[in-house]
């Protein structure tokens, strides 16, 4: 993979941070409180999607009985209490360092709340790698296309020189909306089969990107 990209735009959850199993654990706790059958990691990876409210409905939440913001708040409280138990994906720090040494700019684009995202980036001591850290202004994870367009305006680069690295089909939708390149990693919140259906390039790990990328330092 000959790297001609000038700016890498990383997703956070599931891409840099290995949190899919934690998310399934918390979702199953919420389902259990409502006497709804839990789901496996594979089932989660097959049905998770944006906006997140649609995913909740698919797995059995009934929003005629309670508003979405109630389980959403329960989820965020539980996730925030345990999120720092998660580690970065293997090879993440190394690839961030490779891109930085090669003079390739990097940013984060996430459906996480902005304040929480900034706190997490600081916790893992990653601030020095990113020109921009962009999240949403709420916890409802409706999608990233609008903030992606705002980020591109701040970057000011030719869209064809941008590469989005993510772990969901929504990351590919964002990339297509921008005319940017895209690589999806199957070790996060979507299964390889679901990612491949999008038509995007799919790899199994960040290490696979490192092994394939020809980056001149």
pLDDT tens, N- to C-terminus, the chain (217 residues)? 556 899 999 999 999 999 999 999 999 999 999 999 999 999 999 999 888 999 999 999 999 999 999 999 999 999 999 999 999 999 999 999 999 999 999 999 998 999 999 999 999 999 999 999 999 886 555 578 889 989 988 888 788 899 999 999 999 999 999 999 999 999 999 999 999 999 999 999 998 887 766 554 4
112 and 142 together in one domain: yes
Q: Which two tokens stand for residue 184?
A: 């999806």
67 and 127 together in one domain: no
CB atoms within 10 A of CB 124: 16
The total number of structural domains in the chain stands at: 2
203 and 109 together in one domain: yes
112 and 169 together in one domain: yes
98 and 192 together in one domain: yes
Which H/E stretch holds residue 112? strand 105-113
73 and 93 together in one domain: no
Q: Using the structure block, give the residue that is written with the tokens 């389902």.
A: 31
- CB-CB contact of 186 with 201 (8 Å): no
Is 181 inside any structural domain?
Answer: yes
Chain Cα centroid distance, residue 72 = 18
Look up the CATH number of the domain holding residue 130.
3.40.50.1000
Which H/E stretch holds residue 169? helix 169-178
Is 80 inside any structural domain?
Answer: yes
Q: Which two tokens stand for residue 35?
A: 């006497």
Taking the alpha carbons at both ends of the chain, their separation in whole angstroms is 15
26 and 52 together in one domain: yes
30 and 11 together in one domain: no
13 and 28 together in one domain: no
Q: What is the pLDDT of residue 1?
A: 52
Is 120 inside any structural domain?
Answer: yes
* Three-state DSSP class for residue 35: coil
- CB-CB contact of 3 with 214 (8 Å): yes
Residues spanned by the domain of 80: 20-85
Cα separations in angstroms, 93 against 27, 88, 97, 125, 186: 28, 8, 6, 10, 18
Domain boundary among 32, 59, 85: 85
Is 201 inside any structural domain?
Answer: yes
Report the alpha-carbon angle 125-92-184, nearest 5. Answer: 130
35 and 131 together in one domain: no
Domain boundary among 29, 54, 85: 85
81 and 100 together in one domain: no
- CB-CB contact of 91 with 207 (8 Å): yes
160 and 189 together in one domain: yes
Q: What is the pLDDT of residue 207?
A: 87
- CB-CB contact of 163 with 182 (8 Å): yes
Is 2 inside any structural domain?
Answer: no
Domain boundary among 85, 114, 136: 85
């Amino acid at each position: 993979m000959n790297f001609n990209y000038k700016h890498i735009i990383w997703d956070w959850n599931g891409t840099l941070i290995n949190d899919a199993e934690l998310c399934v654990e918390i979702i199953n706790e919420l389902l259990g409180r409502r006497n709804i059958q839990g789901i496996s990691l594979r089932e989660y990876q097959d049905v998770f999607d944006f906006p997140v409210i649609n995913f909740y409905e698919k797995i059995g939440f009934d929003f005629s009985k309670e508003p979405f913001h109630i389980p959403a708040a329960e989820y965020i409280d539980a996730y925030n209490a345990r999120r720092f138990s998660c580690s970065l994906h293997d090879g993440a720090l190394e690839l961030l360092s490779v891109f930085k040494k090669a003079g390739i700019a990097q940013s984060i684009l996430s459906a996480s709340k902005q304040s929480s995202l900034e706190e997490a980036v600081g916790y893992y001591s990653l601030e020095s790698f990113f020109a921009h850290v962009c999240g949403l202004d709420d916890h409802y994870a409706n999608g990233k296309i609008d903030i992606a367009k705002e980020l591109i305006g701040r970057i000011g680069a030719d869209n064809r020189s941008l590469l989005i690295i993510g772990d969901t089909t929504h990351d590919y939708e964002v990339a297509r909306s921008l005319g940017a390149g895209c690589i999806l990693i199957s070790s996060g919140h979507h299964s390889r089969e679901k990612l491949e259906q999008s038509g995007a390039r799919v790899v199994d790990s960040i290490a696979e990107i490192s092994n394939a990328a020809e980056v001149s330092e």
